[in-house]
Amino acid sequence: CDIVHCQTLFSSAKDAEKSTEIKKLAALQRESPRCISLRTYIDCLVKQKRFCHSDITFNGNLAGLKAKMNRHKCSADPEASIFDPETMQVTGPRPPSVDRMCSYSGKPIYKQCGLFGD
Amino acid sequence: PHLRMFNEEFQTCKVEGAWALVDNKHLTVQVTNDPVINSGDATATSKLTVIIKKNEDCASSQFITYTAQTGHLPGSFSLGQTHYGPERSVEVIEKEPGKSVVIYLRYIDTTIKVQQIGRYFTFAIKMPEGVLNSSEISDKLELCVQGCPINERINYKQYFSEVQRTNKHSKMALSKALKMCRDASVVDFYFDSCVFDLLTTGDENFTAAAYQAWQDLIELNPELRQTQDNRTELPIVPSSAS
């Protein structure tokens, strides 16, 4: 359960809030640049869910972040932008959540194989 | 054992020892076939191993292994866990303790069913076509994909003819085997396999195995239609009936 990683990411996202790019994107989404940072933080925490589900700090942070998202009137739209830790750029739409990612969504043509008897 | 391949072809093979049924970038399924007790050359599946390959997001950061051996069909993976990944993305479900388990891999929508009937296992897998074609090396042997090597295949029609002509090598009378398999309501390749297994081993458990394999096929794909005829019935007339 790596909450520190998410906090670091949130810090980087906050530092980038003043950039023209983030300001433009936030304006396009009709929200504050802080929303992009908060969504980045939440997105990171949600990916940790399976490791952190019984961690009090994790649950407290998640609840606090959701409250902050409401206060800033941030969009909860999964297509809204987040800060990408790899490119250090704002990106949208958001990558699929772990849960969505772990449900096969390909073309459902199935093949079967079996082995039995002697 | 009898093999139904992904391409819907059927084969009867010797394949004694360890063989891979499926081996792609997501999972490997390997079986070990041993000689059937008191039945000469016949072999059947006595061990089955499923290896689910590393997938940090949806399975585990390590390989997940499931192993079943004669007399031991566990209801959990090798490390004792019954599920891995978010929302039980990988899960083993015990349908009937010691007799039947299902392994489901949600992230590749793949279902594996393993059952023990008598001393031996039946295996069935249902997998999306796109996942099945994900082998990293194209020429490695997967029985479910390429079938058995030619020298491992058994011409059961020839075997039936020999049994009919000489009545040698048979552990059960042909007429009795045919009746038992008809009574078991198995059809098509599964009927042929049932008769073959009774003739080669005399072990009535194989009637149930053929029936179960056929049921697995229908259960995993209810829309599947079998179009083959009862091949055993056509060329062979039991001596008592003639």
pLDDT tens string B129-150: 888 877 666 677 899 999 999 9
Q: Do A118 and B109 touch (CB under 8 A)?
A: no
Question: What pLDDT, on the 0 to 100 scale, is given for residue B230?
Answer: 47
Q: Does B57 touch chain A (CB under 8 A)?
A: yes
Question: What pLDDT, on the 0 to 100 scale, is given for residue B185?
Answer: 86
Q: How far apart are CA B32 and CA B28, in angstroms?
A: 13
- Tell me which chain A residues have a C-beta less than 8 angstroms from the C-beta of B39: 118
Check pLDDT > 80 for residue B156: yes
Residue A43: Cβ within 10 Å count: 17
Q: How far apart are CA B78 and CA B147, in angstroms?
A: 28
Question: With a cut of 50, which residues of chain A have pLDDT below it?
Answer: 93-96
Measured in angstroms, the CA of A34 and the nearest CA of chain B are apart by: 28
- Tell me which chain B residues have a C-beta less than 8 angstroms from the C-beta of A109: 128-130
Q: Which helix (H) or strand (E) holds A68?
A: helix A56-71
ipTM: 0.90
Q: How far apart are CA A40 and CA A19, in angstroms?
A: 16
Q: Do A111 and B4 touch (CB under 8 A)?
A: no
Question: What pLDDT, on the 0 to 100 scale, is given for residue B196?
Answer: 93
Residue type, B199: L
Model pLDDT for residues B199-224, shown as the tens digit of each residue = 999 999 999 999 999 999 888 876 66
Q: First CA to last CA across chain A, in angstroms?
A: 49
- Tell me which chain B residues have a C-beta less than 8 angstroms from the C-beta of A102: 57-58, 85-87, 89, 106-107
Question: What pLDDT, on the 0 to 100 scale, is given for residue B148?
Answer: 96
